[in-house]
Amino acid sequence: MSVQVAPSASLRSETRVPVPAGRRRLHVARRAAPALVTAIVLVQIYPLVWVFLTSLRPAGEFAAGNPFSLPTDLTLENYRRAWEMAPLPTFIINSLVVTVVSNVLIVGLGMMAAYALTVLGFRGSKVVLGLFLIGIIVPVHVALVPLFITYSRVGLLDTYQSMILPLAGFSLPMSVYLFSSFYSYIPRETYEAAELDGAGPYRIFLQITAPLSSNTVITVVFVNSIFIWNDFVFANTFVLSENLKTIPLGLQNYMGAMGSMDWTATFAAVCVTVTPLLLIFLVLNKAIIYGLESGATKG
Amino acid sequence: MLRTKQRTAVVVFLLPPLGLYLLAVVGPILYSLVLSLFEWDGLSDMRFVGLDNYRQMLFSDDIFWTATGHGLVYLAVSLFFQLVVALMLANLLTYISRGRELVKTVYLLPAIVSTVAIALMFRRIYSLEPLGLVNAALGAVGLDVLQRPFLSDLDTVLVAVSAPEGWRFAGLYMLILYAALIAVPKELEEAARLDGASEWRVFTQIRFPYIRPVFLTTAIMAATYSLRGFDIPYLLTNGGPGHASELLTTYMYKTAFTNTDFGYASTLSVFIVLQCIVAVALILGVRRTGRDAS
């Protein structure tokens, strides 16, 4: 759909052949749309642009200035202060540990469950799939009190595991569904051929099903990484010590008492913590958007 | 389906994922159900109280009803961004020929920012002293009378804490709706245009009916996620001032971890789960009647 309509051509055709009203209105819509789209997108994105610009602007200028003005001076001073105010590298490492381990669990276990449910198949597989559906509907908050009580009994409070367990558990259902729906498209013949060659269910999983899943893996990992990297509620409930804090908890360190906040340094810290996801997002952009679109429209 | 030696393979493949899921999700849900029948502060002995917690919640807890009402406002505000504005933008996007990928990417960006960062940002956006973005914008267009500290004004605080939730995921739903819209057969639209239909009618008579199933799926996703909204209101106002922006989730959290009333908190979380199930059932009901009618 990249039809470019030259205005002069359409004017000429209107004078000669009567053009249906609908077609004429289409031209109007085509001309008005870019302006409207630009306006909506600008409003949507401006807060983020503003945070980024603020992070580069001298603290004094920000306090005094109009929030819509462009910075006159650019400085990295805020980033230096942000770095001093809190152990950012520790937060980033903690977030990485939690995100990577959870993702390995979600992808590995998700593929295994989907393989058992869709490829191997057994009586009652629909029931199990339904059981997994509960995890998509149920809000994570319901698990907070029970897990808190259980953790404090078995001494799991304030550990990486305390965050990883519920984060992986609640992400697993979506992963199982995405892999299952993908596996249902792999033609039977692929498996039959492998079986004739004498491959058992384990070899088929490792050599055929798993390698074919790479696109779905990207979608699953990206969607879950957003959720896990940014998780606040589990970390806030189960983690107490400074050296286990993930990025979202760490960012709270910048929240001083009202009024005494170092805004420019805080926004610099925000920019630092967003960067890893942003880079992944920009690199995998096409694959992610494709995955999200196709994943949801099939459902 | 494979034919050989399946039984053990099924167990080997299914047991680890199912184990994690039962441990982290199903177990806690059942535990919540049990806890909701007890009175317990976490230290002294648990006391079985039957349905007393439910009776208290439904009949003598004003905050519970206030928070439930607020939840509906929260839902309406975030659905406005995630379904109405997103659908409008998705539809407009089909009319532009260049930069679609850029728009999709940029519009999705807020989704990758953590709720803590969003809360920090919006605290400054809403503030009056120092002048935040919203108040500055109002001043710039001469609407000084509307300027106020949005997060401490009782009339505006609820909408103010709801809007960021709608804002952050609008891009995701826009993407899904856009993908559905471009799948609408072009012949149908062309035929309508040749009959003189306006673009508004093309949208209401052809496009929207065609994407209705996807729209309803999107609505389910958006509604269940909005009903569990917690982080942003908790971080921005913690339900305050007073209970002016209290949601069931923030109320539940405070009941559990500030008042350490684990029994009553579990009752509240059981209700939150029921609410999500009802929302999904309602929308699925709409979807079914729609299918029967057509």
B284 near A CB under 8 A: no
pLDDT at A260: 65
User: Hey, which residues does B39 pair with through a beta bridge?
Assistant: B47
Apex A33 CA angle, A31 and A39, nearest 5: 125
Q: Is B29 inside any structural domain? A: no
Q: Is B25 inside any structural domain? A: no
CA atoms within 13 A on the CB side of A41: 22
**What confidence tens digit (pLDDT) does each residue in B68-126 have?**
999 999 999 999 999 999 999 999 999 988 888 889 888 988 988 989 999 988 988 89
Q: What superfamily does domain A87-254 belong to in CATH?
A: MetI-like (1.10.3720.10)
* Residue B169 Rama label (left phi>0; alpha psi -120 to 50; beta): alpha
Give the pLDDT mean for A280-292: 78
Alpha-carbon gap: A32 to the closest alpha carbon of chain B (Å): 9
Q: Is B283 inside any structural domain? A: yes
pLDDT at B140: 82
| Mutation site for A-interface testing, chosen from B113, B129, B216, B231 by largest number of A Cβ within 10 Å | B113
Q: Where are the domains of chain A?
A: 87-254
Residues spanned by the domain of B127:
50-293
Length of chain A as a residue count? 299
Chain B residues whose beta carbon lies within 8 Å of the beta carbon of residue A248 = 114-117
pLDDT tens per residue, chain B (294 residues)? 455 557 888 889 999 999 999 999 999 999 999 999 998 887 788 888 888 889 888 998 899 999 999 999 999 999 999 999 999 999 999 998 888 888 988 898 898 898 999 998 898 889 887 778 888 888 888 888 888 888 888 888 999 999 999 999 999 899 889 988 988 888 888 888 888 888 888 899 899 999 988 898 888 888 888 888 899 999 999 887 889 999 999 999 999 999 888 999 999 999 999 988 888 888 888 877 766 654
Residue with tokens 């999200």: A292
Give the pLDDT mean for A147-151: 93
Q: Is B265 inside any structural domain? A: yes
Distances (CA, A) of B108 to A48, A109, A178, B198: 12, 28, 21, 30
Count of the separate structural domains present in chain B: 1
B130 near A CB under 8 A: yes
CATH number at residue B126: 1.10.3720.10
The three-state (H, E, C) secondary structure of A267-287, written as one string:
HHHHHHHHHHHHHHHHHHHHH
Pick the residue from chain A with its C-alpha nearest to B275.
A138
Residue B200 neighbours by CB distance under 10 Å: 11
Per-residue pLDDT at A296 exceeds 60: no
**What confidence tens digit (pLDDT) does each residue in A36-60 have?**
899 989 888 988 998 898 888 887 7
Q: Is B55 inside any structural domain? A: yes
Chain A residues whose beta carbon lies within 8 Å of the beta carbon of residue B10 = 116, 120, 122
Residue A72 neighbours by CB distance under 10 Å: 9
The verdict on a CB contact (< 8 Å) between B121 and A172 is no
Listed residue (B189, B185, B215, B211) closest to B202, CA to CA: B189
The verdict on a CB contact (< 8 Å) between B193 and A25 is yes
Structure tokens at B277: 């199930």
Reported as a pLDDT band with limits 50, 70 and 90, residue A145 is very high
pLDDT at B293: 56
Residue B234 neighbours by CB distance under 10 Å: 22
**CB-closest option in A68, A143, A232 to B115:** A232
Q: Is B221 inside any structural domain? A: yes
User: Hey, which residues does B47 pair with through a beta bridge?
Assistant: B39
